[in-house]
Structure 1
Amino acid sequence: GNFSFKNIPAGSYLIGVSHIGFASIAKEIDVDKETFLEFELEESRTELNEVIVTGFASATEKQNTPIPVSVVREKDFMQNSATNIIDALSNSPGVSQITNGPSISKPVIRGLGYNRVVVVNDGIRQEGQQWGDEFGIEVDEYSINRIEVYKGPASLRYGSDAMAGVINMLAAPTAPEGTIKGNVLMNYQTNNGLMGTSLNIGGNNKGFFWDVRYSHKQAHAYQNKYDGYVWNSGYAENNWKATIGFNRRWGYSHLTASSFDQQLGIIEGARDSATGKFITDIILPSGPEEIIAPDNQYKSYNFFPIIHQRVVHHKLVWDNNVSLGKGLLGVRLGYQENFRREANDPGVGDLYNNYFFLRTGNYDVRYVFAEKNRFELSVGANGMAQASEDRGTVFLVPEYNLFDLGLYTIAKKSFEKFSLSGGLRFDSRLLHGKDLYTDSSNVRISGPTAKSIHRFVGYNSDFSGISASVGATYDFTSNWYGKINIARGYRAPNIAESGSNGVHDGTPFYEIGDSKLKAESSLQMDGTVGYSNADVSFEVNAFVNNINNYIFPMKLIGKNGKDSLRYDPTISFIDPAPTFKFVQGDAVLTGGEAILNIHPRSVNWFSWLNSFAMVNAIQKNQSDSSKYLPYTPPYKFRTELKLGLPKEGDTFKNAYFKIGIDHFFEQNKVFHKFGNETVTPGYTLVNLGIGTDICSAQKTFCSFYIYASNIFDVAYQSNMSRLKYTDTNNVTGRVGVFNMGRNISFKVVIPINFKR
């Protein structure tokens, strides 16, 4: 095909060329006048080298990044099934998820999650309630075209919380000049009846472009072999996104607005002691009463009982990039509103007990100097301001104001076979936790009185830290390469760690924060050896991550030697709970990933991808029962054999069949103390997939994908699932709720293409 790019400022660029069924090409080019280039792609079902935009001075070839970066492409989303955007990442080596049912997933990179992973969407860090166990990522999975996972401390570019790494979610490129493009996506999944639809359309006329998307998703309760249908596990989403902007030779300006609206049940796993069936609450004239969950409601799409959540996230991003001098100046501003409401008390009917409202303003200013003698340099400042309100009747964390400022510089020098990169950053965070007074009925009041309760004592915390990184890549031969990187990360305590005082919803724990906590700091070393040619590629990554002042909750013991119990007066339906206080220590994490991809050039319809990931996470100076960090992913081996099917005339193209096996090893390195975690047996899941493009008149009419996960309907519990520790089924003796059973996903994508 023939392609043109207009209105590009003069400078050096890394251009990437890709097409389904062919190996991508990345090439550095200089643009100062009209330039013509020819690229010839070789047939391949494997991406050998890609362009990475996450965490560096400028776009970089994947092989020239000193830190391991995984890429999940659009075709990976299409050819697999997922229940949310983080679930779609879980096949990437070194990436896992803490789950609370199919709708709530929190990303974990190399054993670290929550506020130690930064999620970037639309160019700014996604800010919701990352500290909570029952909060997922507020991103429409259908709106994402590509994800880059930076596995290692990325505080240098993204500031506090990027200690484990960054997940950068990228939308599809704008429509080509003079075209209107889009697609209609439809998805149905058999296990929980998930029905998803997404409509996208956008256009580009003389550099002015627009793009809009609307997505809807709904699902009833999911099922597995042991539990049957799981009560209150359904959910629904309504999301939209719109972008307008223009591209000129001096630069570009883009404005994006989006909204994520999700309603979901909260899985408690409470059971009837006699039958083992799930129970729920109903409201009678005499008050709330527990009953066995009615069978006719498990498969309802519109039924949400008393205990449920409503999560709404609005976002506005203004992204600008202009040619200034011989370099490029980027200015990106964002505003986010996060509403998180939870009804969990049958005694108050439809009122929301928890109602968090968070406003975030993001700013990011960066100047990229013109490349000279293969030396790249960028400097910048970024951060955010936050204001949190608690509009509920249950109080866990104080209202707060926060301000972040970070100043950084990142550089890279390239030679013929060798590249050296690194940078330095200074961060400062101001956190103000506000006072809260309640009356004798635990109702918020404006100030102290003779009988008031001082629920939260106001405090001011000031954190600062230095982040730094230095890394190198070296091409030993045209096929062999090596990488090494040393990075220092930084993370300030979150609001729960510094200010909580109450029962953490969704858990049976009373949590107490400490405003005197220090910022965490880490020192991580990464090493990589790899080999790549047209027939085979493999890579081995290893890391050691030492964390000082690691923050974790420690159980308190009373004078009688038993659990210290506390009663939260704002939650009438919960008994006194074991008390945990956030403290600090030191931790060390070690592990890595190995990837082997066999893709013979002479048999370009065949590829065999294998990966192994492991992480060991230990708290230093702890007893055997408490030395392992909780929610550490088990070792995982994954293999997938993919066959390209022969073309059938001009109708079926890019057809494939694949079979994959995921084996999760037993996780016996657990936090035994206080009964927090138990050993999780290993398990193996087998998956199948098939798909094709259906063409007419040399154009793709639609693409069709079928993916069957867990085809043998294995009943299993992931040690990363919080549902593993819910009630015991007295009939079977099994503890907790099991993960999703067999699920078959049907997906159809119909492209929309018009030319002016």
Structure 2
Amino acid sequence: MKSLLLIFLSTLVLKSNGQNKLVSIIVKDNIKASTLNKCSIFSLNSAVSGVTDDFGVFSFPAAKVKSGDKIVVSFTGFKNDTILISGEKSIYRVFLQPAQQLLEEVVVTGVSKATHIKENPVAVISVSSRTIEKTIESNIIDVLTKNVPGLTAVKTGPNISKPFIRGLGYNRVLTLYDGIRQEGQQWGDEHGIEVDGYNLERAEVIKGPASLMFGSDALAGVVSLIPRLPKEKDGKLHGKFTSEYQSNNGLIGNGIRLDYSSEHWMFVGRGSYRLAKNYTNKADGRVYNTGFKETNLAFTAGYNSPKGFTTLNATLYDNLQGIPDGSRDSLTRQFTKQVLEMPLDDIKKRPVVTDDELNGYALSPLHQHIQHYRIYTNNQYRIATGMLDANVAFQQNIRREYNHPTETNQAGLFVRLNTINYSMAYTESGITNMDISVGVNGMYQSNVNRNGTDFPIPDYRLFDAGIFGHAKWKYNKWTISGGVRYDTRQLKGNDFYVAKNPATGFEHQVFPPDTANARPQFPALRQSFQGTSLSFGITYQLNNHINLKANIARGYRAPNITEIASNGLDPGAHIVYIGNRNFLPEFSLQEDIGVGLEYPDLSASLSLFNNSVQQYIYLAQVVDAQGNPVIVEGNKTFQYQQASAHLYGLEAILNLHPKNLTGFSFNNAFSAIRGINTKPDFKNTGVQGEYLPFIPPLKLLSSVNQQIKTSSKVLRQISLTAEADVNAAQNRFMALYQTETATPGYTLVNFSTGADIYYGKNNCVQLQLQVNNLFNAVYQSNLSRLKYFEYYTASPNGRSGIYGMGRNVCVKVVVGL
């Protein structure tokens, strides 16, 4: 009754101001029949968006929509519902069903327009902000790997995780932030993702070739990180404060977001700070030089109109990041530190790191400093029966890696990457049952070496452009989609000379004509690549419970700068990289089939994939004639190789949530991946070349969850979760050239409990207590590069390399403002 009275009064006020009539949506819980406030409302066809008020009502002028438009209603813990706007109807009542499965989730990444997951033939998973907040890990990529089967990460310490999708990573996985491709120095093992993990609305992960929409570097898939924009248009200030502490490495993290939105204007400010010292485990004690200090700032201003919106955005990321080198005393296994320059440095005579250095927050003088800046604009406007999207961005990535103990202000690697991104796409929805999109996107890059002493890659300029067309046809239970794309990439660079600086004794870059006594580090670069991408997929809604999908896609990727032209030391990774200018682009052909089930007592999905990659590029360690690793001033040497590869596997999800056990669920996610080098020379050679590197083992993540809802208006919900993270042994590895070793299996047990405490009208405080690695297991992931940070062929305790984080007690508080 209150809802109807509110709608009636609003309509009178609106008419008195001479405006159009209102369309109102009333949202209720289908089980309890209670109204649901702060439900997300947005249109798939127009600029309408917002949240329901305290009475579960959302109203907007009818002039903003037209007959046939679709309005999506979503709320955490419930199935989405979609309203079809029709005729003169002005009031819509929506009853949301509680849900465990997310087939109804709407995604926007890698499709022509917002669409339901069940209508997308590509394997895609959406991770909500609530799930991100409840998963306490070291960084946002680790959070996603806990929630997306098939997504793993190559790690170089707690704050550096590079996403891998179905066994493929580096420049094969494209990371997006707010729709803008993330461009840093993605080629390095120890180069992380430069984003703020505290202020995300959600994340979307596409598994499989996404080259059709994004071009090169999306061969394996896309990780799309979407910051929150305000949905409330009430002219009030809203926000969120996040604070956490993790005991293992003393991580202290704080983040804040404040936002304001009226009918037309929107403003958002975000900031966060994270500080951590060295992490610890039973095998290594405190692992020297694994701490970090990370700062993020961001600002958004936007304007909304009935036809669309424009936002102007700016972000700043600044990270001081420790990177261990793994040097130790040969007998005590205590960590040691470098104090002399090469060639005077002797790994066996380095001094032991003091307790103060191990246990304090101060970083070693030998660390990385990464800065990433963005300024960009997102624009979306309705034109007739279609929608135009246009984005332009400038971003700058500056990376310094300090590796000189006697000259601590002298960077070894010092590179600056400037990138201009552009994209424009038009989607026509006026054709019956069909959406058709055409667009262009690409980037221009300029990468230069600054005042460094190590030069793994040359200066270069890159121009990338692609044009695509995509169509989606939906009729009854069928959805058919497909498209084609053409890409071209140009790489250019001048001759690059290096000479010894007589003032410092270090090498430095010199320029013509002053190249006397200099040596050529890189010859001039003139490379061009072209490729065509294709995709075709079908989904079929068999009935209300079963959804089927199939997709076939051809992906394209141009070789990155290190694969083509590298010839030097990356001091942070402790690796000398050697490239090959004769490399050809990679092309993949991947087939996917999937089935999704949703019943009152269970939900499940199964995805199978088969991926053949032509001209696959991979790293192999260089050895001498006796089979010993080639070491250059204490650093291993790796050379890029090219062959063909075959990857196949599956992901399965089974969630049990019996209706008669209120709040209980038993959730399971399983993934299995096999990677084979199909070069004839390696056929049937097993670990001596047949298996690809960086392939994760079988993985099962199982959790038992109990949510307890109370009758209290303050403490409304308590949750308990016990989780087992089971990782099988990886005995299919690349032993050739001593690139990898076998990895034993391990299981990590985690426990968490949380509570939702409400204050004021509907403001909420979320409390979370979590213990990761409850039993303090000693383990190494086969995707951890720290596993290979070892200088000795034998050790007194039989352990080699650095182990993963031990028991970690975490506390997190999220306060709605």
Normalised to the residue count of structure 1, the TM-score between the two structures is 0.94
Residue aligning to 1:445: 510
Q: CA deviation at 1:42?
A: 2.4
* Conserved 8 A contact 1:156-1:467: yes
Q: How far apart in 1 are the matches of 2:767 and 2:60?
A: 31
Q: How far apart in 1 are the matches of 2:746 and 2:115?
A: 38
* Conserved 8 A contact 2:461-2:492: yes
Map 1:492-571 to 2 at 5 A. Answer: 492-507=558-573, 509-555=575-621, 560=625, 562=627, 565=630, 567=632
* Conserved 8 A contact 1:8-1:251: no
Aligned partner of 2:458 among 373, 376, 398: 398
Q: Is 1:313 matched with 2:372? A: yes
Structure with the bigger RCO (C-alpha within 8 Å, sep 6+) is: 1
Question: Higher mean Cα deviation, 499-508 or 592-601?
Answer: 499-508
Q: CA deviation at 1:188?
A: 0.7
Map 1:214-613 to 2 at 5 A. Answer: 214-282=271-339, 290-301=350-361, 303-391=362-450, 392-441=452-501, 442-447=507-512, 449-507=515-573, 509-555=575-621, 560=625, 562=627, 565=630, 567=632, 574-575=633-634, 579-613=637-671
Q: How far apart in 1 are the matches of 2:646 and 2:248?
A: 39
* Conserved 8 A contact 1:46-1:607: no
* Conserved 8 A contact 2:443-2:463: yes
Q: How far apart in 2 are the matches of 1:23 and 1:701?
A: 19
Secondary structure at 2:59's aligned position in 1?
A: coil
Give the letter for the 1:696 counterpart.
Y
Question: Higher mean Cα deviation, 486-495 or 498-507?
Answer: 498-507
Q: CA deviation at 1:506?
A: 4.0
Q: Is 1:109 matched with 2:165? A: yes
Q: CA deviation at 1:369?
A: 0.6
Q: CA deviation at 1:514?
A: 1.7
Residue aligning to 2:809: 744
Q: How far apart in 2 are the matches of 1:394 and 1:387?
A: 19
Q: Is 1:654 matched with 2:709? A: no
Question: Higher mean Cα deviation, 597-606 or 683-692?
Answer: 597-606
Q: How far apart in 2 are the matches of 1:582 and 1:691?
A: 47
Residue aligning to 1:570: none
Secondary structure at 1:77's aligned position in 2?
A: helix
Q: CA deviation at 1:333?
A: 0.4
Q: How far apart in 2 are the matches of 1:249 and 1:646?
A: 40
Residue aligning to 1:23: 78
Secondary structure at 1:597's aligned position in 2?
A: strand
Give the letter for the 1:492 counterpart.
A
Residue aligning to 1:620: 678
Q: Is 1:180 matched with 2:237? A: yes
Residue aligning to 2:192: 136
Give the letter for the 2:465 counterpart.
L
Q: Is 1:199 matched with 2:256? A: yes
Give the letter for the 2:781 counterpart.
S
Give the letter for the 2:360 counterpart.
S
* Conserved 8 A contact 1:491-1:520: yes
Q: CA deviation at 1:527?
A: 0.6
Secondary structure at 2:337's aligned position in 1?
A: strand
Q: Is 1:150 matched with 2:209? A: no
Q: How far apart in 1 are the matches of 2:331 and 2:495?
A: 46
Question: Higher mean Cα deviation, 372-381 or 445-454?
Answer: 445-454
Q: Cα gap change, 1:356/1:280 in structure 2, threshold over 3 Å: closer, same or farther?
A: same
* Conserved 8 A contact 1:440-1:453: no
Q: 1:185-217: per-residue Cα shift (whole Å, max 9, x none)? A: 111111111110011110012310100011011
Normalised to the residue count of structure 2, the TM-score between the two structures is 0.87
Give the letter for the 2:474 counterpart.
S
Gaps of 5+ in 2: 1-55, 502-506
Q: CA deviation at 1:701?
A: 4.2
Map 1:69-148 to 2 at 5 A. Answer: 69-91=124-146, 92-148=148-204
Q: CA deviation at 1:35?
A: 4.5
Aligned partner of 1:735 among 793, 800, 809: 800
Map 1:602-751 to 2 at 5 A. Answer: 602-621=660-679, 622=682, 623-624=685-686, 625-727=688-790, 728=792, 730-751=795-816
Q: 1:138-180: per-residue Cα shift (whole Å, max 9, x none)? A: 0010021200100010000011010000011111232411232
Q: CA deviation at 1:640?
A: 1.0
Q: How far apart in 2 are the matches of 1:580 and 1:97?
A: 20
Q: CA deviation at 1:45?
A: 4.9
Give the letter for the 1:447 counterpart.
P
* Conserved 8 A contact 2:699-2:728: yes
Give the letter for the 2:641 counterpart.
V
Secondary structure at 2:213's aligned position in 1?
A: helix
Secondary structure at 2:734's aligned position in 1?
A: coil
Secondary structure at 1:63's aligned position in 2?
A: helix
* Conserved 8 A contact 1:14-1:27: yes
Gaps of 5+ in 1: 568-573
Question: Higher mean Cα deviation, 41-50 or 24-33?
Answer: 24-33
Q: How far apart in 1 are the matches of 2:92 and 2:229?
A: 20
Aligned partner of 2:246 among 189, 197, 209: 189
Q: How far apart in 1 are the matches of 2:697 and 2:152?
A: 9
Q: 1:463-487: per-residue Cα shift (whole Å, max 9, x none)? A: 0100000000112222122111000
Aligned Cα root-mean-square deviation (Å): 2.1
Secondary structure at 2:278's aligned position in 1?
A: coil
Q: How far apart in 1 are the matches of 2:60 and 2:211?
A: 34
Secondary structure at 1:3's aligned position in 2?
A: strand
Give the letter for the 1:167 counterpart.
V
Give the letter for the 2:568 counterpart.
G
Q: 1:415-459: per-residue Cα shift (whole Å, max 9, x none)? A: 111110111000000011331112355332112545321111012
Residue aligning to 1:54: 109
Q: How far apart in 2 are the matches of 1:676 and 1:31?
A: 62
* Conserved 8 A contact 2:79-2:98: no
Question: Higher mean Cα deviation, 722-731 or 513-522?
Answer: 722-731
Give the letter for the 1:246 counterpart.
Y
Q: 1:568-606: per-residue Cα shift (whole Å, max 9, x none)? A: xxxxxx24x665432311000000101111122343411
Q: CA deviation at 1:325?
A: 2.6
Q: CA deviation at 1:697?
A: 4.9
Q: 1:217-269: per-residue Cα shift (whole Å, max 9, x none)? A: 10111111111111111101111110001100121110110001110111111
* Conserved 8 A contact 2:731-2:743: yes
Q: How far apart in 2 are the matches of 1:299 and 1:246?
A: 49
* Conserved 8 A contact 1:44-1:599: no
Corresponding pairs, count:
741
Q: Is 1:68 matched with 2:133? A: no
Give the letter for the 1:553 counterpart.
L
Q: Cα gap change, 1:701/1:509 in structure 2, threshold over 3 Å: closer, same or farther?
A: closer
Q: Cα gap change, 1:371/1:228 in structure 2, threshold over 3 Å: closer, same or farther?
A: farther
